[in-house]
Structure 1
Amino acid sequence: MSKNTARIGVINVSDRASQGVYEDTPGKSCVELLKEWLATPFEVSYAIVPDDQAKIKAKLKQFADEDGCSLIVTTGGTGPDPRDVTPEATEAVCDRMLPGFGELMRAASLKYVPTAILSRQTAGTRESCLIVNLPGKPKAIRENLEAVFPAIPYCIDLIGGARLETNEAVMQAFRPKGG
């Protein structure tokens, strides 16, 4: 990885996708959104893992600690089903939680579906990596990530991750003046 290239992790959490029962469209849609919104060159660490807390935690740690990701987005495993354990895995590996991300994502989703209140998306930091949990449907991924993405590059700046610049024509990040 070159010095000017960021690394971003994408993890699709799904029992069925991890078993090859169906195609991994959520993870792929995340990568496409990031390519659309980011001007900064980046490489992707990518995984499909089952709804298993230990496996999710291990992959989050690997991507943050070994691969050097500045951002990790997860898709799936955020509902109330007993198998949905992505938020628990995220909380277990994070140094600090950022509840505003989940609050804003649920508020954005409520514009589309009343069941948004069932979602348990969250976000937190692990050293210089921001981890954001997203829902598992591509349409909801876009709606949720679009709501919080303007704050993501500045958050990563604050924790010492790679600087991410957005493609201003399609996604504008917020940074304080002089940032």
Structure 2
Amino acid sequence: MSAHATARRAELFDQLVALFLTDGFAHLTLDAIAARLRCSKSTLYTLADSKDALVEAATVHFFRDATDQVETALIGVTDNRITAYLTAVGAALRPASEQFMTDLDSLAPARAVYEKNTAIAARRVQQLISEDSDLPERAAVFAGDVAASTMVRIQSRDVVHRTGLGDADAYLELARLLTGLRS
């Protein structure tokens, strides 16, 4: 693939992610997506062989970029890394509309991408708690487990349904809870 084709492909994925984050995707047909991106359906088929595969690929693209943003936000941070990490997770999820999050939960391949990224983030939070807290080892492991459980509940939409907190805000509240911050 040429550099131009690779750049065009990345640009299309960026546009696709922006569209999905704003409007969701369940109601969009491939024709509607092509029209919104001002490309042909055959161009979309160069990205994926079906709408579901396109959504999954866009979801992977979104979470790859989000992971890069979150890890970049930690560079040079020496104090309150747990807060910095969870705040960055919340910021990365902020552009995602409620419709996107609902649609994401309804499509198994896309939900699996979110679940995988949540599991990775939960392990990262557990690592940060173990490294950065003054808690005894057992308490740090427990706090990490509580954080991981909460992150799974955020991802599974349980938190938004029970509290009204969207994913981005829930991550900020989790940071406050774990670090004893006041609002």
What band does the TM-score fall into relative to the shorter chain?
under 0.3
Provide the TM-score with structure 2 as the length reference. 0.27
User: Could you tell me the TM-score, scaled by structure 1's length?
Assistant: 0.28
State which structure, 1 or 2, has the greater radius of gyration over its C-alpha atoms: 2
Q: Which has the higher helix share?
A: 2
* Structure showing the higher strand proportion among its residues: 1
